[in-house]
Structure 1
Amino acid sequence: MPRPRSLTPEQLASAALAVIDRDGLAGLSMRAVAKELGVSTMGLYRYVTDRDELERLVVERVLGAVDTEPPEPGAPWRERVTVLAGRLRATVGAHPEVVPLTVTHRHHSLGVLRWSETVLAVLTEAGLEGERRVVVLRALLGYVIGAIQLEHLGPLSGPGTTALAALPVAEFPLMAATARDARTVDADREFLGGLALLLDGIAV
């Protein structure tokens, strides 16, 4: 019997990501990834212990692709933070089914650590340090990850907004009106507008 071929973490992550992109997060299983790789399910257990480990590999595969090079050093700090936030949004948004996993596994990701280190360097140059820098970094991470989730799992152009716009005006006048207005806001305006509000607060 031939010896099973060796698999690298990159191959495992790519196969798992392919399954998620094609079948959704619910389709991720040891069996599905083994089939994608052309190996037996039991053979896959030689490399990973369970689905949780596969998820961590996928998150690192996606977040590790984020460009963490410092933006233009002469640009204002707000512009540089906006560039970095946009890079994270674009990279994760290319695989929307992975978005929920980034919340659970981001602390294990070297990609997020490198992104955060670059953001912290920009914030430090802007004069933030100590507890305020901690709060600002977490606020930025929370905003970007939350905004990505809303964009892909509950977009303004989706059925949820349509349903809200149809609420009885007598009972929910403001919700109905806001939902109607929301249908004219595209994803970029929503993301950048919310980020600008956050950066305004940081600047103050």
Structure 2
Amino acid sequence: MPRPRSLTSRQLASAALAVIDRDGLTALSMRAVAQELGMSTMGLYRYVQDREDLERLVVERVLSEVDTDLPDSGASWRDQVEVMARRLRDTVGAHPEVIPLTVVHRHHSPAGLRWSETVLAILTTAGMSGERRVIALRALLGYLIGAIQLEHLGPLSGAGTTAITRLPPTDFPLMTATARTAQDMDADREFLGGLRLLLDGLDA
């Protein structure tokens, strides 16, 4: 008879997330997670088939921390969307190495789908439907995914921005000027500024 299972999906996900947070995404493996759990690698195969299964568990583990309750219904739809965007950014941003996995596995995450369901409810209440609602949701997701990746995996500020300011201004006058301005902007201001530009377009 097979041995009874003694680990929950959340325990497996938490162990895999601990490996990623500590050692980076490239360190995620069946062996590393098994060691984190204090078990044999073969024992881990009782619970998951491969690394991809672990990745999906991690994504669900992270996204399950996002508050998907509808924000204050008395607020404008724009303010409600901004609240949802902040919640997603703050939660995913707490685990930067997991960001690439959220892009790949988001469609398999019930928690991620619940976030989208709440946003769609806000957009619907705002009068959006059909193709416009499709475009609005995908535009928001595209912005959030890109902005979170840029903030944590390839920041526009810091060393990269400093390097751009040192380019020959005769060849890159606008890039160097923009980079100098960017040096004085913090991540929150940049993120919210871009989001509000997008919401302006959706509100038009």
Distance (Å, rounded) in 1 between the aligned partners of 2:43 and 2:156:
44
Question: Secondary structure of 1:170's match?
Answer: coil
Distance 2:108 2:29 in 1: 20
Which residue does the alignment assign to 2:65? 65
| CA distance in structure 2 between the aligned counterparts of 1:47 and 1:158, rounded to whole angstroms | 42
Preserved contact between residue 25 and residue 97 of structure 1 (Cα < 8 Å): yes
Which amino acid is 2:29 matched to? Answer: S
Task: Judge conservation of contact 1:60–1:111 (CA < 8 Å) in 2.
Answer: yes
How many pairs are equivalent? 202
CA-to-partner distance for each residue in 1:121-167, whole Å, 9 max, x for gaps? Answer: 11111000000000000111111111111111122332211111111
Paired with 1:14 and 1:41, the residues of 2 have a C-alpha distance of: 17
Distance 1:84 1:173 in 2: 37
Partner deviation per Cα, 1:81-134 (whole Å, 9 max, x = no partner)? 000110000110111110111110000011111111111111111000000000
Q: Which residue number in structure 2 is paired with residue 30 of structure 1?
A: 30
* Superposed displacement of residue 198, structure 1: 0.2
Show the 5 A alignment for 1:1-40: 6-40=6-40
Q: CA deviation at 1:5?
A: 6.2
Query: What is the distance in 2 between the residues matched to 1:199 and 1:157?
Result: 24
* Overall identity of the aligned pairs, in %: 75
| Structure 1 residue 103 corresponds to structure 2 residue 103 | yes
Are 2:169 and 1:169 aligned?
yes
Amino acid at match of 2:25: L
Distance in 2 of aligned mates of 1:41 and 1:200: 51
Letter in 2 for 1:150: L
Question: Which residues of 2 match residues 20-169 of structure 1 at below 5 A?
Answer: 20-169=20-169
Give the structure-1-normalised TM-score.
0.96
Partner Cα distance (2:104, 2:44) in 1: 23
The one-letter code sitting in structure 2 at the alignment partner of 1:178 is T
Can you give the 5+ residue segments of structure 2 that lack an aligned partner in the other structure?
A: none
Note the residue ranges of structure 1 that are not aligned, 5 or more in a row.
Answer: none
C-alpha deviation, 1:4, in angstroms: 8.2
Indicate the SS of the match to 2:169: coil
Contact 1:156/1:186, CA 8 A, preserved across alignment? no
Question: C-alpha offsets along residues 146-192 of structure 1, whole Å, 9 cap, x if unaligned?
Answer: 11111111223322111111112121111111111111110000110
Aligned to 1:199: 199
The one-letter amino acid of 2:22's match is R
Task: Name the amino acid aligned to 2:30.
Answer: M
Q: Distance in 1 between matches of 2:195 and 2:119?
A: 14
**SS of corresponding position for 1:179:** helix
Contact 1:156 1:185 in 2 (8 A): no
Q: Distance in 1 between matches of 2:145 and 2:111?
A: 14
Deviates more, 1:98-107 or 1:165-174: 165-174
Aligned residue for 1:99, secondary structure, equals helix
Kindly indicate whether the alpha-carbon contact (under 8 Å) linking 1:4 and 1:43 is maintained by their aligned counterparts in 2: no
SS in 2 for 1:39: coil
- Tell me how large the CA RMSD over aligned residues is: 1.2
